[in-house]
Amino acid sequence: MSDTTADFIIIGGGIAGASVAYELSAKGKVVLLEMESAPGYHSTGRSAAVMSENYGPALWSRLVTASRGFYEQPPEGFTDVSLVTPRGALFLAKHDEVEALFNQAVELSSRGANIEIVSAEDALNFCPVVRSSEFAKALYEPDCKDIDTNALMAGYLKALRIRGGVLKVGAKVERISRTDGVWTVSTRAGEFTAPIVVNAAGGWVQEISDLAGLPYRNVVPFRRTAVVFDPPAGSDVTTWPMTFDVAETFYFKPEAGRIMVSPVDMALSEPCDAQADELEVAIAVDRIERFTTMSVQSIKHKWGGLRTFAPDHEPVIGPDPEEPSFIWLAGQGGNGVMGGGAAARLAAAFAAMEAIPQDIAALGITAENVSPGRACVVDASGAKPVVGDIEQFA
């Protein structure tokens, strides 16, 4: 097979595309197409890079559970460094959120996750800057890990190369057509053909589906802002956990000796090179100063990134209802790195027309509950959400 003919064409060189390319390269010839000059430039390179089984909606958090084994013990030769390192996560609940915290604890324990419920005062043992008077209880998840996203991407792409797969950068997909059971994908770097296409284009998945002539689906990007500042002088932040509030108004974590904070904004966006929003930067600073004892002297760094959702925030993985040879791997929201390993195995099973991997099925993931054909994604009205109207995604 030449480098322009493949069994599987994957569109999008973020974590979704790289991971499914890795999985499918064990089953056939793969071409991975990325429009930028390097993979991982968009959402994948802008995440907080943590893995928590208590983060995100139900099905995504189960995919995190199913990804953990790969990240903790990758196959021989995949990488020379640890893909994950201990971080810990602390979820802070106010008095009226304690019941929700206990429900999370029960659900997490049922999946075998280690957790501890502590008083707000005792939460200071994990993170000494929490303003404990603002909270009643906290859930501590010791097994939350930092993910080395660069090493993970490098591992996937190295294995892809070794297995004969091809990564084409600068290959913006501009036209897609299908004749006699074969897709032709035209890019700025040439034309590629394959019987199966995987749509892993992150915030651009709808544009790719439009190019393929398929109906509108409700999988759209939202911007999130992140800010980095210096911690109080003399503090050793290395062991601080990723700290969230249960109401989801902020999170912060150590980042190379500094503190990264997000006001967890969610603003509907066009697919684009996302930037930090100035109002959200100010909100991030305000939340840090209200809910912790830290003050922000100056912003060292800030950025924006896209998180792409279906209205129910759950994965959109599987064949398009109109065209079974067009496989979606989308709607990663805030779980795309941490749940990416299992999501890729699931998408690869659909692309290769195999059964759902047993460990994933055992967690209650079915073809139906992640299908691009489920009601909220198909959106029978065909109406596109307008910028500023996020109610149906709330």
Ligand X SMILES: Cc1cc2nc3c(=O)[nH]c(=O)nc-3n(C[C@H](O)[C@H](O)[C@H](O)COP(=O)(O)OP(=O)(O)OC[C@H]3O[C@@H](n4cnc5c(N)ncnc54)[C@H](O)[C@@H]3O)c2cc1C
Position of tokens 């195995």? 345
Q: Which residue among 88, 305, 311, 372 contacts ligand X (CB under 6 A)?
A: 305
Q: Which residue among 20, 90, 173, 378 contacts ligand X (CB under 6 A)?
A: 173
Q: How far apart are CA 183 and CA 8, in angstroms?
A: 10
Q: Which two tokens stand for residue 77?
A: 């030769």
Q: Which residue among 30, 127, 338, 349 contacts ligand X (CB under 6 A)?
A: 338
Q: How far apart are CA 327 and CA 316, in angstroms?
A: 10
Q: Which residue among 25, 44, 65, 206 contacts ligand X (CB under 6 A)?
A: 44
Residues paired with 166 in a beta bridge = 31
Regarding 30 and contact with ligand X (CB under 6 A), the answer is: no
Q: Which residue among 17, 263, 319, 372 contacts ligand X (CB under 6 A)?
A: 17
Least Å from the CB of residue 96 to ligand X: 27
Q: Which two tokens stand for residue 284?
A: 């991030």
Binding segment for ligand X among 42-50, 94-102, 136-144, 342-350 (CB under 6 A)? Answer: 42-50
Q: How far apart are CA 348 and CA 27, in angstroms?
A: 9
Binding segment for ligand X among 72-80, 137-145, 334-342, 378-386 (CB under 6 A)? Answer: 334-342
Position of tokens 């097994």? 143
* Secondary element (H or E) of residue 116: strand 116-119
Q: Which residue among 6, 20, 48, 113 contacts ligand X (CB under 6 A)?
A: 48
Contact string 223-262 vs ligand X (x = CB under 6 A): -x-x-----------------------------------x
Q: Which residues in the 104-143 window bind ligand X by CB under 6 A? A: none
Binding segment for ligand X among 11-19, 23-31, 113-121, 131-139 (CB under 6 A)? Answer: 11-19
Parallel/antiparallel/unpaired status of strands 30-33 and 166-168: parallel
Least Å from the CB of residue 89 to ligand X: 10
Q: How far apart are CA 360 and CA 343, in angstroms?
A: 9
Least Å from the CB of residue 336 to ligand X: 2
Q: What is the DSSP string of 25-46?
A: TTTS-EEEE-SSSSTTTTGGGG
* Total residues in contact with ligand X, by rule CB under 6 A: 39
Q: Which residue among 46, 87, 137, 345 contacts ligand X (CB under 6 A)?
A: 46
Q: How far apart are CA 100 and CA 375, in angstroms?
A: 27
Closest CB to ligand X among residues 35, 120: 35
Q: How far apart are CA 286 and CA 281, in angstroms?
A: 9
Complete edge-to-edge strand list for the sheet that includes strand 50-51: 50-51, 145-147, 84-86
Closest CB to ligand X among residues 120, 185: 185
Regarding 197 and contact with ligand X (CB under 6 A), the answer is: no
Q: Which residue among 8, 183, 204, 240 contacts ligand X (CB under 6 A)?
A: 204
Q: Which residue type occupies 350?
A: F
- Which of 83, 13, 55 has the alpha carbon at shortest distance from 339? 55
- Which of 9, 33, 30 has the alpha carbon at shortest distance from 172? 33
Q: Which residue among 12, 231, 254, 341 contacts ligand X (CB under 6 A)?
A: 12
Chain residues in the site for ligand X (CB under 6 A) = 11-17, 33-36, 41-44, 46-50, 171-173, 200-204, 224, 226, 262, 305, 307, 332, 334-338
